[in-house]
Structure 1
Amino acid sequence: MDSKLTSRRQFIKQLASVGAVGAAVTKAPFVFAKKNITLRVMGTHVTLQEELRQRAMKELGFNITYEPNGSAAVLQKAASNPGSFDLYEQWSDSINVLWHARAIQPIEIERLNYWSEINALTKTGKLTSQAREGAGDAPNKILFVQPNNHLGSQPSNRISFMPYVHNVDSFGYNSNLIPAGVPYDTESWGWLLDDSNRGRVALVNAPTIGIFDAALAAQAKSLMTFNDIGDMSVQELDTLFDILMEKKRQGHFAGYWTSVPQSVEFMVSKRVSIQSMFSPGVSSCKGQGVPVIYASPKEGYRAWHGVMCLSSKTTGYVQDAAYDYMNWWLSGYPGAFIARQGYYISNPERSRPLMTNQEWDYWYEGKEATSALKGTDGRDSVKAGERRDGGSYQTRFSNIAVWNTVMKNYDYSLDKWYEFLNS
Structure 2
Amino acid sequence: MSAPAPPDDAWLDAECRRLLDFGRRVAHPVGGAAWLDDDGAPDLSRPVHTWITARMVHVHALGALLGVDGCASIATATLDGLRTTLRDAEHDGWFGAVDADGQPVGTGKSCYDHAFVVLAASTATVAGLPGAEDLLAEATAVFEQRFWDEDLARVVDEWDRPWSEPVPYRGLNSTMHSVEAMLAAGDATGDTTWHRRAARLAGLVVDLAPAYDGRLPEHFGPDWSVDLDLNRDRPDDPFKPYGATVGHGLEWSRLLLHVESTLGDEAPPGLLDTSRLLFDRAVADGWHADGAPGFVYTTDWDGRPVVRQRMHWVTAEGIAAAGALHRRTGEETHARRYAEWWAYAAEHLLDRERGSWHHELDPANHPHASVWPGKPDLYHAVQATLLPRLPLAPGLARAVALSQRPSAPA
TM-score scaled to structure 2, two decimals?
A: 0.31
Q: Which has the higher helix share?
A: 2
* Structure number with higher relative contact order (C-alpha < 8 Å, ≥ 6 residues apart): 1
Q: Which has the higher strand share?
A: 1
Whichever of the two has the greater Rg, that structure is 1
